[in-house]
C-alpha cells in the first residue's frame, strides 16, 4: 500500500521538483549568456528583455556607472594595461566601472571574435551613465561606434586628457623628468667713477651768498 502511494504521489512530485529546479537553473545560465553576448532574453515575471535589466541597473545601482572605450586592435597587449589602469583609478574615485578588458573570451569562431566582443561591450555600455574615452579612440572602429551610441543616448562623455587627476599626474611626471635649473650667477656691481671734487664758492667780502648760489655754482 505504501509503495503504491509512493509511486502515485511522491515519485511524480520528485520528478516535477527536479524538472522545475533544472529549468530555473537553465534559465539563469541562458540569461547570463545573453547578458554577456548582448542578446535578448524573454521571461514573464523576471526580465522582459535585456533593456529592462539595463534600466534597472542604471536606476538602482548605488554608484555611477562608467564604460571605458578605447583602441585595442593592433596595440601591444591589446592596450589592456591602459584599460586596467584607468579602471583602477575610476574605481578609487567611486565609479562602478565596466571595463571591456576584463570580459572573458567569447566561445565563437576566431572570425567572429570582434563581433562577439562588441556585443558584450555595447551591452555593458547600455547599463552606464557615462563613457570614458582613452587616447586614440578616434582611430578605433569599435570605440567610435560606442562613442556614437553613448552620444545619441545622452551619456556623459569623459575624455582622458581632460581629467584633472590625469593632468596632475602628467604635470608631476614633467616636473620629475626636468633637471633642476642652476641659479644664475650674480651680476658684478657696477664700478662708479671717482667723485669729482667740487669747490665751494668763495665768499667775497661785502657780498652775501644767496641760498641757491651754491647750487647754481655746482650745476654751472
Over residues 111-122, the pLDDT tens digits come to 888 999 999 999
Domain 62-175: top CATH class = alpha beta
Please report the pLDDT score of residue 35 as a whole number.
54
Cα angle, residue 150 at apex, residues 148 and 151 outer, rounded to 5°: 65
Considering Cα of 72, then 74, then 77, then 81, what sign does the dihedral take? negative
pLDDT value of position 86: 94
Q: Where are the domains of the chain?
A: 19-60, 62-175
Q: What cell was used for 86? A: 584607468
Compute mean pLDDT per 10 residues along the chain, 220 residues long, and list them.
Answer: 62 67 66 54 45 56 84 93 94 92 86 89 91 94 96 92 75 72 66 59 57 52
pTM of the model: 0.55
Which positions ≥6 away from 118 have C-beta within 8 Å?
Answer: 38, 142, 145
Amino acid at each position: 500500500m505504501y509503495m503504491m502511494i509512493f509511486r502515485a504521489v511522491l515519485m511524480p512530485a520528485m520528478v516535477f521538483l527536479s524538472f522545475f529546479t533544472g529549468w530555473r537553473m537553465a534559465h539563469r545560465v541562458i540569461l547570463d549568456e545573453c547578458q554577456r553576448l548582448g542578446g535578448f532574453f524573454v521571461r514573464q515575471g523576471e526580465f522582459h528583455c535585456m533593456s529592462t535589466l539595463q534600466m534597472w541597473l542604471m536606476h538602482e545601482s548605488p554608484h555611477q556607472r562608467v564604460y571605458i572605450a578605447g583602441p585595442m586592435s593592433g596595440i601591444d597587449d591589446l592596450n589592456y594595461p591602459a584599460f586596467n589602469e584607468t579602471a583602477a583609478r575610476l574605481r578609487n574615485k567611486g565609479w562602478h566601472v565596466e571595463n571591456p578588458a576584463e570580459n572573458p573570451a567569447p566561445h565563437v569562431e576566431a572570425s567572429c571574435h570582434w563581433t562577439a566582443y562588441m556585443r558584450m561591450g555595447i551591452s555593458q555600455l547600455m547599463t552606464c551613465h557615462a563613457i570614458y574615452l582613452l587616447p586614440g579612440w578616434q582611430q578605433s572602429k569599435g570605440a567610435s561606434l560606442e562613442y556614437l551610441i553613448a552620444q545619441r543616448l545622452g551619456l556623459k562623455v569623459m575624455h582622458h586628457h581632460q581629467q584633472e587627476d590625469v593632468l596632475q599626474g602628467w604635470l608631476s611626471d614633467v616636473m620629475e623628468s626636468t633637471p633642476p635649473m642652476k641659479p644664475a650667477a650674480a651680476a658684478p656691481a657696477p664700478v662708479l667713477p671717482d667723485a669729482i671734487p667740487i669747490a665751494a664758492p668763495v665768499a667775497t667780502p661785502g657780498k652775501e651768498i644767496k641760498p641757491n648760489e651754491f647750487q647754481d655754482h655746482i650745476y654751472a
